[in-house]
A and B are shown apart, each in its own frame.
Chain A
Amino acid sequence: MKARFDVIVVGAGPAGATAAMILARSGFEVLLLERGKYAGEKNMFGGALFGRVINDLIPNYWEEAPVERYINRKIVTMLSKDSSMSFDFKTEKFAEPPYNGFTVNRSRFDRWYAQKAVEAGALLLNETVVDDLLWEDGRVTGVHTRREQGEVWADVVIAADGAMSLLAEKASLRKRFNPKHFSVGVKEIIQLPKDTIESRFNLAGNEGVSNEFLGGLPGGLQGGGFIYTNKESLSVGVVAQFPSMHPNKVPIYHALAQFKSHPSVRELLKDGVVKEYSAHIIPEGGVEMMPKLYTGGMLVAGDAAGFVLANGLYLEGVNFAIASGVAAAEAVAAAKTKGDYSAATLRKYQQILEEGFVLKDLKEYKHALTFTENSRLHSVYPDLICELAEKLFTVDGTPRTKIIPRALKAIKGKVSWMELFKDGRDAGRTMLW
């Protein structure tokens, strides 16, 4: 193999494949390195991809991409032990091109997407683990792979090596991870007949639903569950924050089992056949955990840079990864024009991200972690809301009480006024203003 390229991209996930595709289209010699047997083999997520950013790169991408269902129904559900209360939104607007989002199977989708980079001229090398960076005069000049004669050089390295980003650490762009910035998600793919999925979820044709659940996890675990509809399967999983996990409490696979057996979930999954189990950490710390995004000869993109929006209402990552891949490609193209890949020039990458939704959104929701790490959000409030609904809708021949006095009574002894005020303010500044 040739030992020198214009650009080396590490990781053929959404961020890396995007950068590789755009740069190859512009005539760069691009080496795209992937540790799996194929792109997507190692990749795991909840199940929804918001692909409007792809449409700018591959118009009408859904016509050829292996997508499952377009998502035009979004449900957010609060769970208590035996009850549930949902916010349910469905629209025809998301059922038309360019579509708001799709459910996808990553081992198929990412493989297809990386192939687009190959078609554009990038050289994709699978089964290649990158172990280290090569340096010269204080800047990155290539990578060391676990192959014979494994050194490869380039003007610039784009580290799109995923949530554990060993390269960002090797380049001293980040410190040791703090568990409070991470959750772990586990998911099962549960096979069901197409017709069964459509009737259970009130879907016609290729319509799909994303349903996120807050509360109801056992043993004080903080996080939630999710169900996404694929064509002939469901993606069903739970996510839990690391600081909420303790030795004497339940492990996450027990939480998944309990979620699946909740009375409001159980019937949706009935008679389904589990096809696969998977797990991955999720970088949820937003700007608080973001590494330095560039150094001389190197950029960090996608999960490696912590580009995930997770705040209870939104759970997005692939769209952020793709947008950061676009920004990385633009910054590299600008550096090429100047013939200079120093940190000072590559700083443009951060500027592009700051002008677009990637860093704007992460900054807009910078308080999300303070909000979501609050234990009351995961148990007390979902329980209260379900309890209040139960009381309001119980018809048992006793005289009724209006909502506010009912609510005040329900809150008593569970949350103090100070806590209620603080939580209301945190919720407000996180989500509302």
Chain B
Amino acid sequence: MVDVGEKLQLVRFRISPEAHIKVDKSRCQKCPHQACAYVCPAACYTRADDGEILFAYEGCLECGSCGIVCDQGAIEWNYPRGGYGVSYRFV
């Protein structure tokens, strides 16, 4: 198993006090695919045993994947405020 947390420790973030992506969990409950949980390359979305989608924005790479696959209107995708979020150095 790959530990994404380990990978994310290599990435520099300036974490904003508020989440830049808003998730409406009540819609996630009814979502037939919950694709966010398996497409996110930073594992920001996880599916709990009871089907609830848990979202942690802190390690978000701002890649856009969740915004592309969510067709339930549950994700309000946006950028972090200026100067916050992921900060690549070698990419």
- Measured CB to CB, the residues of A under 8 A from B are 35-37, 40-45, 105-107, 126-129, 146-147, 163-164, 166, 176-177, 179, 182, 184, 186-189, 233, 242, 245-247, 249, 251-254, 256-257, 274-281
Closest CB of chain A to B71's CB: distance in Å? 8
Chain B contact residues, CB within 8 Å of chain A: 1-2, 4, 7-8, 10-11, 33-35, 37-39, 41-43, 61-65, 67-69, 71, 77-83, 85-91
Interface residue from B43, B79, B83, B90 paired with A189 (Cβ < 8 Å): B90
Instruction: Provide 6 A-B residue pairs closer than 8 Å at the C-beta atoms, listed in order of the A residue.
Output: A41-B88, A44-B91, A177-B67, A251-B38, A279-B65, A281-B68
Given A276-B10, A281-B68, does the pair A105, B91 have CB atoms closer than 8 Å? yes
Chain A's closest residue to B69 (CB) is A179
Could you tell me the distance between the alpha carbons of A65 and B10 in the complex, rounded to whole angstroms? Answer: 26
- A277 CA to B83 CA in the complex, in Å? 19
> Is B85 touching A247 in the complex (CB atoms < 8 A)?
no
* Known pairs A164-B64, A253-B41; A127 contacts B83 (CB<8 A): yes
Question: Which B residues lie within 8 Å of A179 (CB)?
Answer: 68-69, 71
User: A43 and B91: CB pair below 8 A?
Assistant: yes
A253 contacts B88, C-beta separation under 8 Å:
no
**Interchain CB contact under 8 A, B91 and A184:** no
State whether B88 touches A278 (Cβ < 8 A). Answer: yes
User: Which of chain B's residues have a CB closer than 8 A to the CB of A184?
Assistant: 39, 41, 63, 65
Contacts of A256 in B (CB 8 A): 2
Q: Which residues of A contact B64 (CB under 8 A)?
A: 163-164, 280-281
Task: Give the shortest distance, in Å, between A327 (CB) and chain B (any CB).
Answer: 25
Closest to A247 in B: B38
Distance of A426 Cα from B60 Cα, bound (Å): 38
* A188, B91: Cα distance in complex, Å: 8
- A276 and B68 contacting across the interface, CB-CB below 8 Å: no
- Cα A166 to Cα B20 in complex, Å, equals 14
In the complex, the answer to whether B8 meets A164 with C-beta atoms within 8 Å is no
Q: Report the nearest B residue to A249, measured CB to CB.
A: B38
Q: Which residues of A contact B79 (CB under 8 A)?
A: 35, 129, 166
Closest A residue to B60 by CB, please name it.
A279
The answer, among B4, B80, B85, for a CB contact under 8 Å with A253, is B4
Contact of B63 among A36, A166, A275, A279 (CB under 8 A): A279
Known: A129-B82, A166-B79, A254-B2. 17 other contacts (CB 8 A): A36-B83, A107-B88, A129-B81, A179-B68, A184-B63, A184-B65, A187-B91, A245-B38, A245-B39, A247-B38, A252-B39, A252-B41, A254-B1, A275-B90, A278-B86, A279-B61, A281-B68
Report the minimal beta-carbon distance from B2 to chain A, rounded to whole angstroms.
5
Residue on A nearest B70 in the bound complex, by CB: A179
Contact: B90 with A42, CB < 8 Å?
no
Known: A184-B39, A281-B65. A107 touches B82 (CB 8 A): no
Smallest distance from the beta carbon of A333 to chain B beta carbons, Å?
A: 29
Contacts of A186 in B (CB 8 A): 41
A37 touching B88, Cβ below 8 Å: no
Q: Within the complex, what minimum Cβ distance (angstroms) separates B3 from chain A?
A: 9
Chain B residue at smallest Cβ distance from A33: B82
Residues of B within 8 A of A128 (CB): 82
Contacts of B67 in A (CB 8 A): 164, 177
Chain A residues contacting B68 (CB-CB under 8 Å) are: 177, 179, 182, 242, 281
Report Cα–Cα, A240/B37, bound state, in Å: 16
List of A residues within 8 angstroms of B86 by Cβ: 41-42, 278
Give bound CA distance, A182 to B39, whole Å: 12
Least CB distance, A89 to chain B, in whole angstroms: 26
Are A126 and B82 in contact, CB atoms less than 8 angstroms apart?
yes
The residue among B8, B33, B69, B78 with the most chain A CB atoms within 10 A of its own CB is B69
